[in-house]
């Protein structure tokens, strides 16, 4: 069994309409779009008269049993730039848990680093921090602390946080928070009892254009939204093949982001609204 990865320096931080009724509905839809609003979003694929094609994942996967539980650490474990670390399903812990701000992460990943086969334990702190591009393969969060993953402020616009495989549970607010510039990409992922899967920071003092790409994802027990973007900063979210089980959470929420002030909601947001929220309702399944 490999030893735990060594600790590092402290972090700085449809059918066509027919007749008059169809014409009225079409005019209404155009008017809503002109106002920046979107149509109601109850069971979108079924409402479009199409068979829903959600995620290939139909239930939460079982979380793996840790092969080793490392002692709690007050400093984050470091994945160095360009390095690939296979943790072989070890469980790592920070020294804190809960929902408070400014907790240390369990893992800090330098640009281009890859972490795979890792369990973030109950002392989840602020999860995983990525300084720029990073890849997370088969990472498991049985109980999220503050956030599961954060793209840090200062990241270049070319940064891509890739999350492939794995699952997350009990995230009272966000799973992924984008504070810096760049893109978050999810694929083959599952989430249970979460607030929001991915959010572009709505109140960060430094704001950037950010992107969210979500494909083949299963969510059960969600509360708020799958993706949240700041329309005024040019953010985009692209989603396909998503299954939402239980609560009918919004697919894509648009806001007017602030710089050090709270984001303001866009009334009626939630449905497709290119280029900010891009998805085919036929690939979103409510179950």
Q: Do 127 and 99 contact (CB within 8 A), yes or no?
A: no
Torsion 49-55-56-58 (CA) sign: negative
**Residue 39 lies inside a defined structural domain of this protein:** no
Q: What is the pLDDT of residue 23?
A: 38
**Residue 162 lies inside a defined structural domain of this protein:** yes
Task: Name the domain count of the chain.
Answer: 1
Q: Above 80 in pLDDT, residue 22?
A: no
**Residue 27 lies inside a defined structural domain of this protein:** no
Which of 272, 269, 270 has the alpha carbon at shortest distance from 283?
A: 272
**Residue 1 lies inside a defined structural domain of this protein:** no
Q: Are strands 149-151 and 167-178 parallel, antiparallel or unpaired?
A: parallel
Burial (0-12, 13-18, 19+ Cβ within 10 Å), 125: buried
**Residue 2 lies inside a defined structural domain of this protein:** no
Q: What is the pLDDT of residue 28?
A: 39
Tens digit of pLDDT for each residue in 25-73?
Answer: 333 343 434 444 444 344 444 444 445 689 999 999 999 999 999 999 9
C-alpha distance from residue 21 to each of 34, 38, 46 (Å) = 20, 19, 19
**Residue 13 lies inside a defined structural domain of this protein:** no
State which residues form the domain around 246.
Answer: 44-286
Q: Do 173 and 202 contact (CB within 8 A), yes or no?
A: no
**Residue 10 lies inside a defined structural domain of this protein:** no
Task: Kindly report the three-state secondary structure assignment for every residue of 38-68.
Answer: CCCCCCHHHHCCCCCCCCCCCCCCCCCCCCE
Tens digit of pLDDT for each residue in 203-226?
Answer: 999 999 999 999 999 999 999 999
Interatomic CA distance for residues 66 and 10, integer angstroms: 26
- Whichever domain contains 56, its CATH number is 2.160.20.10
**Residue 35 lies inside a defined structural domain of this protein:** no
Question: pLDDT-based confidence at 124, cuts 50/70/90?
Answer: confident
């Amino acid at each position: 069994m490999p030893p735990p990865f060594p600790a590092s320096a402290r972090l700085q931080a449809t059918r066509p309409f027919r007749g008059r009724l169809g014409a009225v509905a079409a005019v209404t839809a155009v008017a809503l779009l002109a106002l920046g609003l979107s149509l109601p979003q109850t069971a979108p694929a079924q409402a479009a008269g199409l068979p829903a094609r959600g995620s290939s994942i139909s239930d939460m996967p079982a979380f793996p049993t840790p092969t080793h539980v490392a002692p709690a650490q007050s400093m984050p474990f470091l994945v160095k730039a360009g390095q690939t670390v296979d943790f072989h399903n070890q469980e790592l812990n920070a020294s804190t848990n809960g929902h408070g701000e400014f907790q240390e992460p369990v893992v800090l990943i330098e640009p281009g680093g890859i972490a795979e086969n890792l369990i973030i334990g109950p002392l989840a702190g602020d999860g995983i921090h990525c300084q720029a591009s990073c890849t997370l393969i088969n990472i498991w969060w049985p109980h999220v602390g503050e956030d599961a993953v954060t793209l840090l402020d200062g990241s270049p616009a070319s940064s891509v946080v890739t999350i492939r495989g794995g699952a997350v549970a009990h995230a009272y607010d966000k799973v992924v928070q984008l504070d810096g510039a760049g893109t978050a990409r999810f694929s083959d992922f599952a989430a249970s009892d979460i607030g929001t899967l991915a959010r572009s920071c709505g109140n960060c003092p430094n704001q950037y254009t950010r992107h969210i790409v979500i494909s083949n994802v299963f969510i059960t027990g969600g509360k708020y939204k799958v993706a949240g973007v700041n329309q005024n900063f040019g953010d985009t979210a692209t989603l396909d093949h998503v299954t939402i089980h239980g609560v009918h959470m919004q697919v894509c929420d648009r806001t007017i982001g602030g710089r050090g002030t709270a984001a303001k909601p866009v009334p009626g947001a939630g449905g497709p609204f290119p280029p900010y929220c891009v998805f085919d309702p036929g690939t979103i399944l409510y179950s």
